[in-house]
Structure 1
Amino acid sequence: MLLQHRKNIYGVLLCFILSGLCSSVFAQSRTELEKKKKQLNQDIEYTNKILRQTQQEKAASLKGLRVLNSQINTREKVIGTINKQITVITGEIGEKNRNISSLQQQLAQLKKEYANMVLFAYRNQSAYNKLMFIFAAEDFNQAYKRMKYLQQFGTYRRKQAEYIERTKKALNLKVMELNSDKKEKGTLLTEEQKEKQTLTKEKVKQTQVVGQLQSREKNLRQEIAKKQREAQKLNKAIQDIIRREIEEARKKAEEEARRKADAEAKAKGTTAPTTTPKTASGSAVLSSTPEAAKLTADFVSNRGRLPWPVEKGVIVERFGVHPHPVLAKVEVNNDGIDIKTNPGAAARAVFGGEVIAVTSVFGEYAVIIKHGEYFTVYSNLRSASVSRGQKVTTKQSIGTISSDAEGNTELNFQVWKGQVKMDPEYWLAN
């Protein structure tokens, strides 16, 4: 009986442990999803503010449409996050139902065993019966075991009662948690439905704005052509600046290698080599010094965690080639990402480094900062507050972002590894 009792107690304990582990995993997942949803809702709130400002304009604008598209994209992410929350809670509900069923079975078994123990104790409550139980043993060894059994019997009865009470409390707690999860799931389903209704309205608005803009195709094509010219000029300026940086770094590396070779030859009493010592090829030469190598490694280790180049903003155009939001069969290419922010907002360095250029493109400024082998570019600035050769720190203001006649304030932010363009969105904190 005691052996079976131990097995059942172990079963209850195992149930508690597994239940606790599952709850911990689910809780962590739910917390992360709730945090993500909160951030997305903050983005939506900020985008709504920008949309209200944009809607005050008499005519629909391409920039307003880009903000609306960003809003729709964020809204879809919110709905996706809510779906994940519902999936997690549904999994928790299933797990809790299984835990409750297991606890109910364990409780029934514990009560049954406890009843048998009470009946046994009642039948053997007198000292005479206890002695008869011991003397009825087949040998001395069995008699000794029966005596020990009687000594431990009372202790096990008390423990059995404690485990029954503990199991009841655990069962009641799981039932309460289950009811709370069901209520939360219902709230999320309602929230999801509301977000879907809002998304439908936004898409209707999107269709209307696209229709209005399509009637101004000529103006849109002129805007695209102007933006492409600006992008090409900026791209050429960046490539030339980076190429010069690589060439200068290569020359310095070669000079340092030649100096070391001369010193070694002099120490050995031999003739210095006439050929140019080999150095790192391509942009890797930018990490040829220990300081530069550390800066490169630190920049890479912060991928996905870099602060945004503005204090507050939303991405209105992403990296790479993608279809134009209005014109059919027209593609646009962005070497970085366009971030819409508040008028008068400052651009901030996303990581510590050295300013290698402050250049002017069509009357606007662009600041290029070197982080070892990597470069970050901040363009469409009305003014720059840094200069070439200056060291900057993370989140340091480097200039004021320009605003157009309608008050639209957008920063174009780029990340380069040597002369290779990279998607900045993968580098910034989510």
Structure 2
Amino acid sequence: MKRLLVWIVSALCLTVPLLAQSNKLIKELESKRGSLQQQIAETESLLKNTKKDVGSQLNSLAALTGQIEERKRYIATMNNDVESIDRELNNLERQLGKLRRDLRDKKKKYESSVQYLYKNKSIEEKLMFIFSAKTLSQTYRRLRYVREYATYQRIQGEEILKKQEQVTLKKKELQQVKAAKVSLLKERENEKVKLELQEKSKRTMVANLQKMQKGLQQEISKKRREANQLNARIDKLIAEEIERARKRAEEEARQAARREAEARKKAEGGTRSQSKESGKRGSDDASDAASTSRRKAEPLESYSMSKADRELSGNFVNNRGRLPMPISGAYIITSHYGEYAVEGLRNVKLDNKGIDIQGKPGAQARAIFDGKVAAVFQLNGLFNILIRHGNYISVYCNLSSASVKSGDTVSTKQTIGQIFSDGSDNGRTVLHFQLRREKEKLNPEPWLNR
């Protein structure tokens, strides 16, 4: 009896992980959805706006579009989760079927052994079977057979108990996963209803803006002029920073070439005889000078970064897709990178050299990676910051204050300034963010971890 209890406990220990595996999957999926759900809930307050002028309406349209994109992304995540749960359900169904087949086989074997024992159940019959042997070795083999068969029967019974417990737990696991799927499908339907309401609100907003086409074109032209002014200033500062980096690299190359030439001369001087040295001094000096000149001329054209900058650039590239958002708290992306038409509005095209990220009033701008502040400048009363990460430069615009200065070293996620909140536009708080590889403009979104 004691042995039987030990086997049952062992069976329970083996079957608990089966249930934990599906629970872990469900919890992981819920955790991923939870962060997206929280993000959507927190950014819904950003959509509240009562002003009716063109600029405010256009900003509200951008915020609503960003919110719709977030909700679509959330629904897409739920669709993927439903597929993952379906795969898990199919896997569980297969496992349960196999367990049931194994249980039936074990029960049949156990039933056969019980029937055999029932036919030979008396102790006398067993003793007669053992002692009717003709030799001593045959007696021993028959005794061992009786013992082994009894052990076999006990093990069969214990395996049936273990397999029965596995079937029971697998059924429970299957029920839990099915319940999770039902809950997820219901949540998805609710999100689809919310999405339809938001898209309806967007259509209404677009219709109102279409009635103000003249004012809309004027607002777009104003935004374009401001963007061109900002980008021209950024381009100029980046060109200056690239030139400074080139000069640092040139100086580093000169020093390396000088050290190498000095070391070579010292090594060669130790092996020359005094007589040969005096005879060849003029030609050797000329050769060394020419060699040093070549070493200086060749790398200076190819070097654009110092060793430290090259290492920082490599680390930056290795973190593509994992860089933190450059804004603290809840956010929505209201304008994407590149040139695109505003949906529903005729002849309204936007050309963004970065992305616009709207947050809550009080949101902070933060560095996306380790680096050095290349420039801090003001334009139209607002601060803008450039941070160099090797030959990559991140740009943070539309700040009411800056907490760093040019030359400062910053670390990943360090706060660098307060994002401006427009009191005349319901506290609208938008960070304009750009990413450059030297002079090349990059789409920041693939680099950020969303």
Tell me the CA shift for residue 69 of structure 1: 0.8
Match of residue 331 from structure 1: 349
Q: Is the 8 A contact 2:19 2:169 kept in 1?
A: no
- Residue 366 of structure 1: how far off its partner (Å): 1.1
Instruction: Write out aligned runs for 1:401-416 (5 A).
Output: 401-404=419-422, 405-406=424-425, 407-416=427-436
Q: Structure 1, residues 360-381: CA drift from partner, whole Å, max 9, x if none?
A: 3333221001111211100111
Of the three residues 321, 328, 331, the one matched with 1:304 is 321
1:285 maps to 2:304: yes
**Alpha-carbon distance in structure 2 between the residues aligned to 1:323 and 1:167:** 63
Partners of 1:263 and 1:95 lie apart in 2 by 67
Tell me how far 1:89 sits from its aligned partner: 2.0
1:34 paired to 2:30? yes
Match of 1:163 in 2: 159
Deviation at 1:338, TM superposition (A): 0.5
Contact 2:393 2:436 in 1 (8 A): yes
Distance 1:242 1:394 in 2: 21
| Structure 2 match to 1:252 | 248
Q: Which residue in the other structure is 2:441 paired with?
A: 421
- Amino acid of the structure 2 residue aligned with 1:364: L
Which structure 2 residue ranges, 5 or more long, are not aligned?
A: 1-10, 266-284
Unaligned 5+ segments in structure 1 are 1-12
Structure 2 residue aligned with 1:209: 205
Contact in 1 for aligned 2:250/2:300 (Cα 8 Å): no
Take 1:135 and 1:212, find their aligned partners in 2: how far apart are those partners?
105
Measure the CA separation in 1 of the matches of 2:137 and 2:246.
Answer: 90
Shift of 1:144: 6.6
1:177–1:28 Cα change, 3 Å: closer
Q: Is the 8 A contact 2:19 2:173 kept in 1?
A: no
Letter in 1 for 2:326: P
- 5 Å-filtered alignment, 1:339-358, equals 339-358=357-376
Which digits, 9 at most, give the CA deviation of each residue in 1:273-309, with x for residues without a partner?
3343333767x723x32x3233223322332222222
CA distance in 2 between counterparts of 1:333 and 1:145 reads 92
% of aligned pairs identical? 39
Are the aligned partners of 1:296 and 1:372 in contact in 2 as well (CA < 8 Å)?
A: yes
* Alpha-carbon distance in structure 2 between the residues aligned to 1:319 and 1:296: 22
Q: Which piece of structure 1 moves more, 241-250 or 202-211?
A: 241-250
| Residue of structure 1 aligned with 2:380, choices 348, 362, 365 | 362
Cα pair 1:379 1:412 within 8 Å, conserved: yes
State the alpha-carbon separation in 1 of the partners of residues 216 and 133 from structure 2: 102
Indicate the SS of the match to 1:285.
coil
Letter of the 1:428 counterpart: L
Per-residue deviation, residues 204-240 of structure 1 (Å, max 9, x unmatched)? 1110000001111222222222222222232232222
Question: 1:151 corresponds to which residue?
Answer: 147
Alignment RMSD, CA only? 2.9
Q: Residue 65 of structure 1: CA displacement?
A: 0.9
Aligned residue for 2:421, secondary structure, equals coil
Contact 2:253 2:300 in 1 (8 A): no
What is the rounded CA distance, in whole Å, between the counterparts of 1:235 and 1:318 in structure 2?
16
1:9 matched residue in structure 2: none
TM-score (structure 1 length as normaliser): 0.85
Q: Distance in 1 between matches of 2:336 and 2:150?
A: 73
Residue of structure 2 in register with 1:274 after alignment: 293
The amino acid of 1:370's aligned partner reads R
Structure 2 letter corresponding to 1:84: N
One-letter identity of the residue aligned with 1:119: Q
Deviations, residues 127-176 of structure 1 (Å, cap 9, x unaligned): 55446656899999988765433222222222111111111111111222
Give the direction of change, closer, same or farther, for the CA distance of 1:179–1:424 in structure 2 (3 Å limit): same
Q: How many residues align?
A: 409
Distance 2:300 2:143 in 1: 84
8 A Cα contact 2:70 2:332, kept in partner: no
SS in structure 1 of the partner of residue 299 of structure 2: coil
Give the corresponding residue for 1:57. 51
SS at 1:277 equivalent: helix
Cα distance in structure 1, aligned partners of 2:79 and 2:106: 40
- Segment of structure 1 superposing worse, 29-38 or 76-85: 29-38
1:68-119 per-residue CA deviation (whole Å, 9 max, x = no partner) reads 1111111112222222222222222222222222222211111111111112
Question: What amino acid is the match of 2:59?
Answer: K
